[in-house]
Amino acid sequence: MTAFRVEHRPEGVSAWTEATATPIEDGPFHYAGKLYLKGLEGATVYEARVMTRNEEGWNKHKNVFSFATRGAGGIDVFMCWDVTAWEYIVL
């Protein structure tokens, strides 16, 4: 694993904003990464997707996940991820 690419956008917007993170190996065949998304708007629902890169190139994203900033529709969620899972923590 050589990189993570995280794309996010406000729900209903077609263009993705892209950011990358460096993976950290934290076990056999398990990598994690941390990325702070800057410039998010308050009270907004976002969509996000994660891709990984290895020696063969970038994989295709499989899932689009949703998260929200404080005040969006009464849900307050903090999102963190690793290569295999997204974790949602209600604030």
Rounding to the nearest 10 degrees, give the CA dihedral for residues 56, 34, 75, 64: 0
Q: What is the dihedral of CA 79, 82, 85, 91, to 10 degrees?
A: -20
Tell me what pLDDT residue 16 has.
96
Question: Looking at residue 15, what is its pLDDT?
Answer: 97
Dist CA 8 CA 70 (whole Å): 16
Q: What is the pLDDT of residue 26?
A: 87
- Which residue would you say has higher pLDDT here, 5 or 91? 5
Per-residue pLDDT tens digits for 51-83? 999 899 999 877 888 888 878 865 545 555 444
Structure confidence by residue, pLDDT tens digits, 30-58? 888 888 888 888 888 888 999 999 899 99
**How far is residue 8 from each of residues 22, 26, 40, 87, measured CA to CA in Å?**
17, 25, 10, 16
Q: What is the pLDDT of residue 18?
A: 93
Average pLDDT of every residue of the chain: 79
Question: Where does the pLDDT of residue 10 fall: very low under 50, low under 70, confident under 90, or very high at 90 and above?
Answer: very high
Cα dist. 72→2, 12, 16, 69, 85 in Å?
34, 14, 20, 6, 23
